[in-house]
Amino acid sequence: MESKVAEPLVSIVLPTYNGRRYLRKSIDSCLSQSYKNIEIIAVNDGSTDDTLEILKSYKDNRVKILDIPNGGLPNALNVGFRAASGRYLTWTSDDNYYLPNAINEMVEYLNNNPNKPLVYAIYNNIDENDKIIGQSKYELACFLYRKEIADITGEYRIEFKLVEDVDFFLRLRHAGGVFGTIKKVLYHYRIHGGSLSSRKICERQLISLKMHYDLISRGIKKGSLEDLFFDRLRITALYRDMSTMNEIVTFANKHELPFAIKLQNKSRFLNTKIGWFVNRVYIFVYYRIKKLVPQRSSLLE
């Protein structure tokens, strides 16, 4: 009698910080997967609410709890994946959730496509009350990737907090090749009512710039450094964050980039009233046009 091949173990890392509101729904969606050979590594990142108590209430031996001091998302992810035993890996947030067949569909895809390092699926955007408010086809939120490629890629880089996922996936694509896709909705991604503060948006632009500079300089990602710096400068100028604008110019000067003087002059212009207005019109028109043309994420090209 032919022996049945064991299904590969899937490790789902779930980092959480004060995530009590939606945490049960997120964990329950993992435990109710039609694909049963999973482990859930819940990393409590120094929560001050009753998140840890909620985690401990689960008696399913597939749920493993790691309680660590608060260190931010990339650190929590690294701690979780170091403890992972699976051949296939993924992570989810404490406010999002899988549809019941999500893991099974992605495991089947990777089993049948050994040349693909990662597979991702379409997901619905939902509001705070679980109402569907949109859909995303070209971003990575529901995904599964191979451990052997992740080992080559390396860990999530703490210095690129706020864009640690983009950095990781760009490096993983460089190590393993083009990603696969499943054209089905397998996940719900929650959009919260509160938006990022302007300061946090500008901080993210600066970190993103440094991350992309690193990857482009090392040949891991293709792209124009000049376009990158001017794009980040324009977005930061929109929020009138002169401090971050100066940091962008200083970074260009420090690395002796050939367009540094032009960037500095552009920064001065954008800091004037007319410059800010022209920039606002430019960004409005640019993103309106971008909305009309279907865009693929640079992660997927």
**How would residue 289 be classed by pLDDT, with cut points 50, 70 and 90?**
confident
CA distance 219 to 238: 30
The per-residue pLDDT for 288 is 77
110, 143 Cβ separation under 8 angstroms = no
DSSP 8-class letter at 95: T
The C-alpha atoms of residue 263 and residue 281 are separated, in whole angstroms, by: 19
**How confident is the model at residue 6, as a pLDDT?**
67
Mean pLDDT computed over every residue of the chain: 93
Residues with Cβ < 8 Å from 5, sequence gap 6 or more? none
Compute the average pLDDT of residues 223-233. 96
pLDDT digits (tens, 9 = 90+) for 252-283: 999 999 999 999 999 999 999 999 999 999 99
Nearest 5 degrees, angle CA 298-CA 300-CA 301?
70
Q: Parse the chain into domains and list their residue ranges.
A: 10-190, 198-292
Superfamily of domain 10-190: Spore Coat Polysaccharide Biosynthesis Protein SpsA; Chain A (3.90.550.10)
pTM of the model: 0.91
Summarised one tens digit per residue, pLDDT across range 50-108 is 999 999 999 999 999 999 999 999 999 999 999 999 999 999 999 999 999 999 999 99
Neighbours of 250 (CB within 10 A): 12
Using pLDDT thresholds of 50, 70 and 90, give the confidence band for residue 158: very high
